[in-house]
């Protein structure tokens, strides 16, 4: 079992580059089976979530080859063998649900093992199923797997039961090969949905309305046989680095930030009193996203006058809410953080109390955070959820003294070469096996 050992309380310095988007990467890996040819994905993050998706793809007959450290080549031309799908990999990640939409027009019937992922309370699959059944995807829940039978239909119009990212991605993939025009209303417009749409459009799909909550997709009979695409930088990792710089009261530059998905977060921070400068605006390699470098300055923070909460894009990213909690431990006054989406996520914030933070749980969704708090090191087991785990790690880096964060697999699911990258900006951190 791996742990992080941290000597905290140090000011950080220099610059750290944002990694590539985990949620985009897994969506594109799922969509790759729609191509029936050769898919080349550049800037593919080498993280555990990606490794599990590649295990699934390899197990069903997709050729997987790394051309170099971050260029992945997939051969999806051959017949697929769903009977040999990697059971354990499916069970470990929720991203395996993406195959429901990706395979809607490629396979007639198969079974998909039930998925895992972060433990965030009850996470229903109904929004996926309500959307997909309109395309003729029938899913029967068995003891430990889903029995899937595809009888393609032409829905014309799909209203999303919930504006979830992955349910929307499944509906998009099912619509790409559906004859005629499909309109998807109340779709998620989040970054990974946009990246998926641009990838599919590069492959020959006809998708309009990207970046809005209404998508219009005109069905095509096939996609191109050779597709290359560059994965966008990860706004959640950028926000993680922002939270790290602010919580440690450091002068720090976060490079390669997709600003369209961080502007509201930065406005909240500005109201708190945080000083920052945006530099070097440019387009991403795919030419679809605005990229900037963010320079943070040590600032005196005050609590937000209103509650902090997430909602579907263009609201404050739901996955950014936990990353505000360590920041708010350093803000004068009392902040209300409302994570309405997940039942269990707010409970994990109580782990920060062990470091000296003043966090009060009001109910499964809401906490008060009072600051500023002087934090000291502690020994904590990593919660089974990526973003709360990173919130604890950020607080440990800010806390004076020695901290140990145990069982760090959740963090390694989403962040590549984290120890080395943190060490370069002045964090005293190392791996330990225990």
pLDDT tens by residue, 391-429? 999 999 999 999 999 999 999 889 999 999 999 999 999
Model confidence at 119, pLDDT cuts 50, 70, 90, reads: very low
Are 251 and 349 members of one domain?
yes
Last residue of a domain, one of 165, 200, 230: 230
In angstroms, the CA 11 to CA 278 distance is 21
Last residue of a domain, one of 204, 230, 256: 230
Asked whether residue 163 carries a pLDDT value surpassing 50, the answer given is yes
Domain of residue 427: give its range. 2-19+233-433
User: Domains in the chain: how many in total?
Assistant: 2
Asked whether residue 220 carries a pLDDT value surpassing 90, the answer given is yes
Average pLDDT over residues 177-206: 98
3-class state of residue 423 by DSSP: helix
pLDDT at site 120: 41
Are 297 and 421 members of one domain?
yes
Are 401 and 288 members of one domain?
yes
Average pLDDT over residues 246-257: 98
How is residue 200 annotated by DSSP?
H
Alpha carbon 144 to chain centroid distance? 25
Average pLDDT over residues 361-377: 96
- The pTM score is 0.95
Are 171 and 276 members of one domain?
no
DSSP labels, 39-75: EEEES----HHHHHHHHHHHHTT-EEEEEETTEEEEE
Asked whether residue 263 carries a pLDDT value surpassing 80, the answer given is yes
The radius of gyration of the chain from alpha carbons, rounded to an integer in Å, stands at 21
Are 149 and 212 members of one domain?
yes
Alpha-carbon torsion, ordered 82, 85, 87, 93, to 10 deg = -100
Q: Where are the alpha helices (DSSP H) in 177-318?
A: 191-202, 235-247, 263-272
Are 154 and 192 members of one domain?
yes
Which is more confident, 240 or 94? 240
In angstroms, the CA 258 to CA 255 distance is 9
191 phi/psi in degrees, rounded to 5: -55, -45
Asked whether residue 117 carries a pLDDT value surpassing 70, the answer given is no
Which is more confident, 413 or 237? 237
pLDDT at site 195: 98
Are 225 and 239 members of one domain?
no
Are 421 and 385 members of one domain?
yes
Average pLDDT over residues 231-243: 98
In the chain, the percentage of residues whose pLDDT exceeds 90 is 91
Q: What are the start-end ranges of the E strands in 190-273? A: 206-208, 214-218, 226-230, 252-258
3-class state of residue 309 by DSSP: strand
Are 108 and 148 members of one domain?
yes
pLDDT at site 342: 85
3-class state of residue 409 by DSSP: helix
The CATH number covering residue 83 comes to 3.65.10.10
Average pLDDT over residues 198-225: 98
pLDDT at site 1: 79
In angstroms, the CA 245 to CA 70 distance is 27
What is the phi-psi region of residue 195: left when phi exceeds 0, alpha when psi lies from -120 to 50, beta otherwise?
alpha
First to last CA, the chain: 5
In angstroms, the CA 71 to CA 41 distance is 6
47-56, 64-73, 114-123, 153-162: segment of lowest average pLDDT: 114-123
Average pLDDT over residues 272-297: 98
* pLDDT tens digits, one per residue of 135-144: 999 999 888 8
Average pLDDT over all residues of the chain: 95
In angstroms, the CA 196 to CA 193 distance is 5
What the block records as the tokens of 272 is 């708190």
* pLDDT tens digits, one per residue of 80-115: 999 999 999 998 888 999 999 999 999 999 999 987
What is the phi-psi region of residue 235: left when phi exceeds 0, alpha when psi lies from -120 to 50, beta otherwise?
alpha
Are 377 and 395 members of one domain?
yes
Asked whether residue 44 carries a pLDDT value surpassing 90, the answer given is yes
Are 148 and 169 members of one domain?
yes
pLDDT at site 197: 98
Are 250 and 344 members of one domain?
yes
Last residue of a domain, one of 183, 215, 230: 230
């Amino acid at each position: 079992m791996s742990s992080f050992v941290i000597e905290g309380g140090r000011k950080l310095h220099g610059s750290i580059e944002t990694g590539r988007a985990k949620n985009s990467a897994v969506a594109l890996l799922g969509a790759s089976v729609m191509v029936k040819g050769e898919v080349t994905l550049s800037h593919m993050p080498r993280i555990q979530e990606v490794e599990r998706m590649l295990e699934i793809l390899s197990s069903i007959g997709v050729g997987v080859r790394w051309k170099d450290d971050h260029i992945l080549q997939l051969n999806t031309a051959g017949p697929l063998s769903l009977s040999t799908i990697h059971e354990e990999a499916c069970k470990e990640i929720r991203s395996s649900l993406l195959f429901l939409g990706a395979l809607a027009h490629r396979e007639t019937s198969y079974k998909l093992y039930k998925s895992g992922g972060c433990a965030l309370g009850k996470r229903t699959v109904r929004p996926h199923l309500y959307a997909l059944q309109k395309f003729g995807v029938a899913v029967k829940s068995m003891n430990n797997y889903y029995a899937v039978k595809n009888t393609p239909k032409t829905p014309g119009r799909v209203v999303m039961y919930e504006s979830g990212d992955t349910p929307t991605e499944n509906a998009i993939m099912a619509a790409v090969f559906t004859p005629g025009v499909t309109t998807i209303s109340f779709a998620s417009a989040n970054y990974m949905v946009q990246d998926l749409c641009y990838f599919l459009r590069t492959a020959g799909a006809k998708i309009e309305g990207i970046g809005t909550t209404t998508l219009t997709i005109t069905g095509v009979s096939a996609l191109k046989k050779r597709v290359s695409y560059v994965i966008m930088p990860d706004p959640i990792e950028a926000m993680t680095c922002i939270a790290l710089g602010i919580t440690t009261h450091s002068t720090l530059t976060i490079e390669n930030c997709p600003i369209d998905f961080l502007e509201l977060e930065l406005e909240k921070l500005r109201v708190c009193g945080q000083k920052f400068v945006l530099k070097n605006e440019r387009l991403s390699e795919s030419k679809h996203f605005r990229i900037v470098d963010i320079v943070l300055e040590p600032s005196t923070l005050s609590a937000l006058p209103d509650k902090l909460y997430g909602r579907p894009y263009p609201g404050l990213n739901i996955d950014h809410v936990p990353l505000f909690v360590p920041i708010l431990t350093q803000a004068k006054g009392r902040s209300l953080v409302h994570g309405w989406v997940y039942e269990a996520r707010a409970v994990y914030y109580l782990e920060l109390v062990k470091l000296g933070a003043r966090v009060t749980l009001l109910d499964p969704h809401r906490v008060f955070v009072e600051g500023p708090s002087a934090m000291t090191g502690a020994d904590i087991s990593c919660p089974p959820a990526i973003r709360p785990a990173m919130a604890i790690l950020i607080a440990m880096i800010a806390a004076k003294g020695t901290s140990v964060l145990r069982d760090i697999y959740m963090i390694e699911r989403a962040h590549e070469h984290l120890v080395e990258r943190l060490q370069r900006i002045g964090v005293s951190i190392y791996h330990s096996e225990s």
